Amino acid sequence: MNLEAQHYRDHFEVKSKLVDPFAREINYLRLSVTDRCDFRCLYCMSENMQFLPKKDLLTLEELDYMCSTFIKLGVKKLRVTGGEPLVRRDIMKFFERISRHLQTDLLEELTLTTNGSQLRRFSNDLYKMGVRRVNVSLDTLNEEKFNKITRWGRLSQVLDGIQAAQDAGLRVKINTVALKNFNENELFSITDWCSSKNLDLTFIEVMPMGELEQEDRKSQYWSLKDLRNKLEENYSLYDLEENTGGPARYVKVKETQQTIGFITPLTHNFCESCNRVRVTCTGDLFMCLGQENNANLRDTIRKYPKNPERLESAIRSAIDNKPKGHDFDYSRTDIKGQMSRHMSHTGG
């Protein structure tokens, strides 16, 4: 730590940590910086999305102020999400500002979830600003199917972005949503491709977030229990105790020695160890991804711009109302726990 960083740390007043009613310490913030995206993935948003007015979004300065307050209250890991975060204008200015907390060690990790389309453009800058890991959402290696599921995306651009990220020194993890009748037959090819490219891999169950125009959530749902059973037809898997601070459970593949994660909000939820909250680009703090209750921090930020105690109090009050868990359930004819908001609004 250099002298400037030490001076900043010495004058950055760290407060008591955030602890919810179930004695879970909240030290992980997932922040959506925009609801906009250059893709229109079928399970994420409608093709003709009505995006939020720009005046409703937190400015980059407001995002910095809010995140710095969370860090003051004990947040150690910050993941930037969207929409597609890298399409937000001047987003590198936000990364540059927030990276000062890495230099003081008050923030332990700054990460990013992206669709990969802009990684060729931004990977070197991200690395310079302290980002060391990125998650790339990629559900198929078939160009025709990729075009279908993203509507507007180009697979070649994403693959090139992944290579650019690796060349810049970023560790890349592929996030693959398990979709019935879509990528079931690519299970082994995706796994082998990640192994050959030295990419981490996590499979995710589709979540009931937002109404869709043409797709039925229940028809998309592929249980990761079934996926794992299928995977074990070709590989020997053994469970790991590894924990990266997120909701994934990990296995090691004996044959390839790669690590694969499973995020299972439905078949085996991760609520008992939940250490995270989400803030949307409009400043709505969601204490649980699968619940609608939230606290609007934007109003507090704009009404009391020079009164950080007000924002700290609003955050603590929200954490005091963090629920024990979500209610996602596909076991019934009607999906239980369906959220009205799209994932692009809450943040991936």
Report in angstroms the alpha-carbon separations of 342 from 198, 226, 290, 331: 32, 26, 11, 21
pLDDT per residue rounded down to tens, the chain (348 residues): 787 777 677 777 888 999 999 999 999 999 999 999 998 888 777 777 888 999 999 999 999 999 999 999 999 999 999 999 999 999 999 999 999 999 999 999 999 999 999 999 999 999 999 999 999 999 999 999 999 999 989 999 999 999 999 999 999 999 999 999 999 999 999 999 999 999 999 999 986 644 545 555 567 789 999 999 999 999 999 999 877 666 789 999 999 999 999 998 665 556 778 899 999 999 999 999 778 789 999 999 999 998 999 999 999 999 999 998 765 444 444 444 444 545 555 665
Contacts 24+ apart (CB under 8 A), 267-275: 267/205, 267/223, 267/224, 267/225, 268/225, 269/325, 269/326, 269/328, 271/324, 271/325, 271/326, 272/325, 273/24, 274/24, 274/247, 274/325, 275/24, 275/25, 275/26, 275/27, 275/28, 275/245
Quote the DSSP letter at residue 235.
-
Output the DSSP codes for 90-134.
THHHHHHHHTHHHHTTSS-EEEEEE-STTHHHHHHHHHHTT--EE
Contacts 24+ apart (CB under 8 A), 111-114: 111/77, 111/78, 111/79, 111/80, 111/135, 112/79, 112/80, 112/81, 112/85, 112/86, 113/79, 113/80, 113/81, 113/82, 113/85, 113/137, 113/175, 113/348, 114/82, 114/84, 114/85, 114/86
Residue range of the domain that includes 98: 3-346
Secondary structure (3-state) at 86 = helix
- pLDDT for 248 equals 85
CA–CA separation, 298 vs 268, rounded Å? 34
pTM of the model: 0.88
* Domain count within the chain: 1
Q: What is the CATH number of the domain that holds 109?
A: 3.20.20.70
